[in-house]
Amino acid sequence: AKVDVWSDLSQRPSENEVPEVAGESSAGNDTGSTSLPPVLVENFSTLATAIISRCCNALIETEPTLTKYDTIVGDGDCGITMARGAKEISQRLESKILRIDHPSLLFSDLADAVSASMGGTSGILLELMFRKASTTLMQSTGEGITSKELAKAFRAGAEAVSFYGGAQEGSRTMLDA
């Protein structure tokens, strides 16, 4: 049975007017004159490297399965798109292009890698997620970035995906996965 998740289009977030938010004046990957909050997660760089590497390897290895299932329920490009992004991120990790010493910079670099390598809606939404996580951490108040702050940033990223993509929990999208 086909499920029509958008049967009531009047409730989609994109239907509402959203005021434009002024961006930061600094461009590129540098942080300009903005000081970064300190990272209070012990061994963050080591943990981040290990987690990113494992996630990328898992996405690359499961590409055939993701593609198979997406061929059944979608347009068949999910596995290929995810593997392409994972390979780009892996290459940038190995080349030391990813700035793994600070989570805000890392999320910004991950957004750049996704933007450069992944097409389609998944690529756009993942880029938005990483950018929102990055800016959330940049605005962190308090003593610095803790694991709790990282969880808040991830949640903010997921909320950005929901807002811009229009999906809610239970919509059978990447948010549920």
Task: Give me the DSSP letters along 26-41.
Answer: --SSS-TTPPPPPB-S
Nearby residues of 118 by Cβ (< 8 Å), 6 or more positions away: 81, 82, 84, 85, 88, 126, 127
Q: What is the pLDDT of residue 102?
A: 97
Q: What is the pLDDT of residue 165?
A: 86
Alpha helices in 118-146 (DSSP H): 120-138
Q: What is the pLDDT of residue 171?
A: 73
Q: What is the pLDDT of residue 25?
A: 40
- Name which of 112, 125, 52 is nearest 86 in CA terms: 52
pLDDT, block means (10 residues), the chain with 177 residues: 53 50 46 77 97 97 93 88 96 97 97 94 93 94 92 95 84 69
- Name which of 33, 49, 114 is nearest 81 in CA terms: 114
Q: What are phi and psi of 6, to 5 degrees?
A: -110, 40
- Name which of 48, 31, 30 is nearest 39 in CA terms: 48
Q: Is 142 left (phi over 0), alpha (psi -120 to 50) or beta?
A: left
Q: What is the pTM of this model?
A: 0.79
Tell me how far apart the alpha carbons of residues 129 and 168 are, in angstroms, rounded to a whole number: 15
